[in-house]
Amino acid sequence: MRIVLGIRLLMIWQESMRTLVTMLLMCGAAAFGQELPDAPSFSSGNQARTADKVFWLTTGVYGASVAGDAITTSLWVGRTSTCPREGIAGGLRGAHPSSPRAGLMMGGEFVIATVASYELKKHNVHIGKLRLWELPFVARTYTHSHDTLNNLAACP
């Protein structure tokens, strides 16, 4: 009876997590459809905005990948026999991360990457045509998306 109840709860959590990740992605896309007004002190010259639509879009995609990885890691990694431990990218979270630890580590990583990207974009740092503000997002979005899909495929 307890096993059946546990399996049923895992199935409900899986559906809830999929719904949450889908909603995050859809809300991120909808939020970029509107232009934010300029600050009153912002001059209307030829200055480019640092936090433009592209910046917010990449931040939203990165945030969705981090949220998906945090949710799947905190729900399943180390708690089921089919998903015994975090993969190679465990790092500071450890092989069997607790839910608060996984969430806080990934949240901190999101904040650090966002601030670093904002500062790189604000100062227009680039190497040739490569804009360096995109690197923290691109590298970590791939990793978190891969970990999310891996957790969804192997763990529930």
d(C-alpha 71, C-alpha 13), whole Å = 10
d(C-alpha 57, C-alpha 31), whole Å = 9
Identify each DSSP E strand in the chain by its residue range: 126-127, 130-131
Residue 106: predicted pLDDT: 86
pTM for the structure as a whole: 0.62
- pLDDT of the chain along its 156 residues, tens only? 666 656 666 667 667 667 766 766 665 655 555 565 565 555 555 556 788 888 999 999 999 999 988 888 777 766 665 565 555 455 555 556 677 777 888 889 899 999 999 998 888 888 888 888 888 888 888 888 888 888 788 776
User: What single letter denotes the amino acid at residue 122?
Assistant: K
Structure tokens at 89: 């990218």
Q: Is 93 helix (H, G, I), strand (E, B) or coil?
A: helix
Residue 10: predicted pLDDT: 63
Residue 17 buriedness (CB in 10 A; 0-12 / 13-18 / 19+): buried
* Residue burial 28-61, b: 16+ Cβ < 10 Å; e: rest: beeebeeeeeeeeeeeeeeeeeeeeeebeebbbb
d(C-alpha 124, C-alpha 129), whole Å = 11
